[in-house]
Structure 1
């Protein structure tokens, strides 16, 4: 179904663009009444997108738990678990610094905020975003769940990872007595992937609704007003893609080109829905077809969703300096480097926060005397920017998973990227009862 679903999503994306622009042109006349009608119509479109994203959130917690526990149990070696974790975190830190630095460098080169003639809001204006200063105590304590039920109910991925680590390591320590539990968890992996199949069949409708609703309400004008800012940011993300894929090539060679082909569907889902979470289930399957061992993918990917959001990283540096340029505020290089480090630390405490990138930026800018109300300049186009950020997050986590897999001994045999595999999982005999996710 993979190739057909990708085609349907592309068709839905184009139809959504056309439908949204037609509705905005025919109904909108610039008046308050017509704008209210457009917002109402966009609200109806958003119902479809909201339902799809809720279904995705419904899948994520049990899928992360089942795949991670299953992977750890099959690993059978806590030393290997620690090694994979250390290598993953090391890669995430380096990738985050790279993304932030590239954003700061490119915004200084392109200077999209210089000469902005939009009326700036008063410095006392708020953004409507709830912000709070980074607190190391709260961040560390928040990592550990008080209740697994509460963590799953709130989709706190990092807390689910911590609990899953305890369960997986305990299963390994118990040994033969835990074998029935391992079988049940492996079965849960299959059930969740089957549910994923059902949910993803709804993706083209959600993509159509998301794009049509946004353009119906806002029209092409909102893009034109900040076209240079958006254009330079997308160019910056494209450069980041080239850098990440180039680094990936150094580790896995020519297979990096194959990786892009395998992850094109989750990438497209993330881009069109502006949600990295929407791509998570498909990412697990795509990485498995590519050959990343499930014990690696099931550990690296959920961690990456908390610590390796490269698209969000480059946006934070880029947008912060854009606002400073728009206000005519000059920041010395030393101050910009300090800002980079602050963003690097602060961003690790906001996994799962809605519009997390904007929240971090709004909390950080006052430290450098940049009015946070300047974010109102880009709030109107943030959805379109979020589409690119989400897609970049997918690329970054795909490269991270592939590189860690290479460090851990290489890849499993790949499956055809657009294959229609049987309903049974891949395996290499009794030692791998269920060590691979079924392709849907």
Structure 2
């Protein structure tokens, strides 16, 4: 959906974020150890930086979700390839998304990554005191006014309206084509606007790390190390599950060849933290493996909008981390409802840098979880994003191969001969 990210820009962004991270560590520890009288001032400054960043993110959520979903659905059209290949692969995407969300939820409940963290502010848990009412929830997902839903950033209502709007476009004839073109242009503008917002991410990283370390000292670094280890462990478990599902569809020998073909694009995605940067190499390696270009060229762009396995896992894992950090207990019914909402809200904005942060910020308030909890994640999100991106590339490579198998066009490529 979004424009490809130039590797040079990616490197600059990575260096800026890493610089903010290092400076945040140095300044935070210095304030905690040598200038304790300024701890409160440091926390206030950190709150300002992270607060501005979160407000900027919330500002672009509604038009971004609307434009990208309408554009993505409207462009699918009614061609036989879309109906046949798209229908099957979307079922695969939905299954893998639900599986990824469930793994993130299970990992967070077992590992308890948020326990021991000091939240940046006290959370308001009043919205969690009311039991879940299925009828009220079903009624709530349908907006009475899309403008009201956008004004409140109610992501679920925006998704419902956008899906219906996109489905209705083909029936509108020329007017539908005009609106589709308008939506595509709006999507490009919003993606560019989001990219501009992300320029402030290094400042937010500096603020979040500096404020946390000024308050808690060196112990916070050890807690972040544990959090990273637990998240990477959960991601590796997810890789095993995704690989197992693909072996079931393709067979062990073919998956061995596929993994060998995907090593380079997965490493590129991991090192750049950009799925778009890995896209050309991924398409090339899949074609060498035996996936026809027409299948890969259709499935991968669709997957970059609807099949971000690593990013989706982070949604449930990150939300539970924030809940645990604030001492908020979510019943299993609330957690499963959160999974369903994330299934919808995570679709359609793959071209956004740090898309996981955007969608997580949108979902948190609907379950009484404070958006300020994102400050606990911002400082190390680049390292989380590296793992998420590598998983996204791997998952979409698997999906393209499975789709070619379903169509009966998966060829014997050089990758398999090399095994």
User: Given the two structures, how large is their TM-score scaled by the length of structure 1?
Assistant: 0.60
Partner of 1:112: 113
How far residue 301 of structure 1 moved from its aligned partner, in angstroms, is 0.8
How far residue 351 of structure 1 moved from its aligned partner, in angstroms, is 3.6
Partner of 1:84: 85
Contact 1:266 1:394 in 2 (8 A): yes
Q: Secondary structure at the match of 1:226?
A: helix
Q: Secondary structure at the match of 2:114?
A: coil
Rate the CA distance shift 1:140–1:281 in 2: closer, same or farther, 3 A: farther
Contact 1:323 1:370 in 2 (8 A): yes
Give the Cα–Cα distance (whole angstroms) in 2 for the partners of residues 354 and 300 of structure 1.
21
Rate the CA distance shift 1:413–1:152 in 2: closer, same or farther, 3 A: farther
Partner of 1:412: 411
How far residue 121 of structure 1 moved from its aligned partner, in angstroms, is 2.6
Q: Secondary structure at the match of 2:347?
A: helix
Rate the CA distance shift 1:117–1:148 in 2: closer, same or farther, 3 A: closer
Q: Does 1:137 align with 2:161?
A: yes
Give the Cα–Cα distance (whole angstroms) in 1 for the partners of residues 183 and 369 of structure 2.
37
**1:27-106 counterparts in 2 under 5 A?**
78-106=79-107
Partner of 2:227: 229
Give the Cα–Cα distance (whole angstroms) in 1 for the partners of residues 348 and 300 of structure 2.
17
Q: Secondary structure at the match of 2:113?
A: coil
How far residue 153 of structure 1 moved from its aligned partner, in angstroms, is 9.1
Q: Secondary structure at the match of 2:155?
A: coil
How far residue 417 of structure 1 moved from its aligned partner, in angstroms, is 8.5
> Once the two structures are superposed, what CA deviation does each residue of 1:148-205 show, in whole Å capped at 9, x if it has no partner?
598379559x9xxxxxxxxxxxxxxxxxxxxxxxxxxxxxxxxxxxxxxxxxxxxxxx
Partner of 1:151: 184
Partner of 2:121: 121
Q: Secondary structure at the match of 1:370?
A: coil
Q: Secondary structure at the match of 2:346?
A: helix
How far residue 346 of structure 1 moved from its aligned partner, in angstroms, is 1.4
Give the Cα–Cα distance (whole angstroms) in 2 for the partners of residues 106 and 384 of structure 1.
18
Partner of 1:395: 394
**1:187-206 counterparts in 2 under 5 A?**
none
Give the Cα–Cα distance (whole angstroms) in 1 for the partners of residues 325 and 22 of structure 2.
29
Rate the CA distance shift 1:109–1:31 in 2: closer, same or farther, 3 A: closer
**1:240-389 counterparts in 2 under 5 A?**
240-253=238-251, 254-389=253-388
Give the Cα–Cα distance (whole angstroms) in 2 for the partners of residues 93 and 381 of structure 1.
28
Rate the CA distance shift 1:153–1:396 in 2: closer, same or farther, 3 A: same
Rate the CA distance shift 1:261–1:228 in 2: closer, same or farther, 3 A: same
How far residue 90 of structure 1 moved from its aligned partner, in angstroms, is 0.5
Partner of 1:428: none
Give the Cα–Cα distance (whole angstroms) in 2 for the partners of residues 303 and 369 of structure 1.
32
Give the Cα–Cα distance (whole angstroms) in 1 for the partners of residues 326 and 22 of structure 2.
32
Contact 1:268 1:391 in 2 (8 A): yes
Contact 2:364 2:370 in 1 (8 A): yes
Give the Cα–Cα distance (whole angstroms) in 2 for the partners of residues 312 and 237 of structure 1.
10
Give the Cα–Cα distance (whole angstroms) in 1 for the partners of residues 278 and 165 of structure 2.
28
Rate the CA distance shift 1:273–1:224 in 2: closer, same or farther, 3 A: farther
> Once the two structures are superposed, what CA deviation does each residue of 1:294-317 show, in whole Å capped at 9, x if it has no partner?
121111111000100000110000
Rate the CA distance shift 1:142–1:385 in 2: closer, same or farther, 3 A: farther
Contact 2:119 2:325 in 1 (8 A): no
How far residue 350 of structure 1 moved from its aligned partner, in angstroms, is 3.1
Give the Cα–Cα distance (whole angstroms) in 2 for the partners of residues 363 and 418 of structure 1.
47
Q: How many residue pairs align between the two structures? A: 302
How far residue 375 of structure 1 moved from its aligned partner, in angstroms, is 1.2
> Once the two structures are superposed, what CA deviation does each residue of 1:191-244 show, in whole Å capped at 9, x if it has no partner?
xxxxxxxxxxxxxxxxxxxxxxx99xx899886441111111111110110100
Normalized per residue, the structure richer in helix is 2
Contact 1:107 1:318 in 2 (8 A): yes
Contact 1:88 1:300 in 2 (8 A): yes
Rate the CA distance shift 1:301–1:119 in 2: closer, same or farther, 3 A: closer
Consecutive unaligned residues in structure 2, runs of 5 or more = 1-6, 32-74, 125-151, 170-176, 192-204
Partner of 1:45: none
